[in-house]
Chains A and B, each alone.
Chain A
Amino acid sequence: MAMHPMEQFEVRPLIEHPLFQIAGHNIYFTNQSLFMVIVVAAASLFLTLAMGGGRMVPSRTQSMAEMSYEFVANMIHSAAGDDGLKFFPFIFTTFVFVLFCNVFGMIPWSFTVTSQIAITFAMTAFIISMVIVVGFMKHGLGFLKLFVPDAPIYLLILLVPIEIISFFTRLVSLSVRLFANMLAGHTMLAVFAGFVVMLGAAGGILSILSIGPMLMIVAIMLLELLVAGLQAYVFAILTCIYLNEALHLHDHH
């Protein structure tokens, strides 16, 4: 029978017994935790094995690892300048984690880690608090100038609250963008899969028609692969841009 389209996002414990307790809450090892472990293991294994040889003339897998390194390094350099490169390990990790989570979610019957707002919001909260800490460490209280644009004093009464609100809305927009993209794409795939099952079960001429939504799934799958890569890229480059603001305030490098 056709499953409910939202059923794939259900988080359920894999081990019935809670692992431990924090402040009265039971902490379980869920299917989400399992896929996070798989993703991290796959990403570290791939990057370690690909660079294992470290040959002068790279093999195909080695150049994949090298290209991803160069890609992220160029991105940080163009968005956050030279001092942004100090944050390369952090941004590379974020990019690879989000990319692998998105792509692993495309495998049928797997679980998309980034389709949970809890995960994306936790990542975003960490990024924004890191930006604030970096800003205060580099500029001291001068970091607060970020919220004061060049404007006459009577406009500042209006502009400063807007700037502060827009800074903290990033917390919502960065996390919701990734989560909603993954959720919407996978729901759409499940709805089309439901069409195939329903038409196939109808019998007669309708069963033959079920090839239509089937081909549609293939096309959407390709689109979703594009979206998976694009959203990982967007997540990483927005992190760079927020870092750039904390490092350089308003002046452009």
Chain B
Amino acid sequence: MDLAAAKMIGAGLACIALVGAGIGIGNVFGSYLSGALRNPGAAATQTTNLLLGFALCEATGLFGLVIALIILFT
């Protein structure tokens, strides 16, 4: 197998990391909604934690994306 093809396959595999980020972000917002609907009074106080959880979760998936870009463009 030549190097260019192997690079493409490797970059594709590195993008699988985004599966985890997708599941995680869905979990963050889903849990927030189920909590917020049970106790709407406390929902507004938790938006900071919601966005923080979202950002920390998303970053792990993006590391995979960056690895894919590094494989493709170096």
Contact = CB atoms under 8 A, between A and B. Distances in A.
Interface residues of B, number: 14
A173 B69 CA distance: 16
A71 B66 CA distance: 32
Nearest to A181: B62
A216 B48 CA distance: 30
A183 B48 contact: no
A234 B62 contact: no
A233 B54 CA distance: 12
A183 B69 contact: yes
Interface size range of chain A in the complex: 10 to 19
A179 B58 CA distance: 12
A173 B66 CA distance: 11
Contact of A176 (B48, B51, B66): B66
B11 interface: no
B51 A234 contact: yes
Interface of B: 48, 51-52, 54-56, 58-59, 62-63, 65-66, 69, 73
Interface of A: 6, 75, 78-79, 173, 176-177, 179-181, 183-184, 230-231, 233-234, 237-238, 241
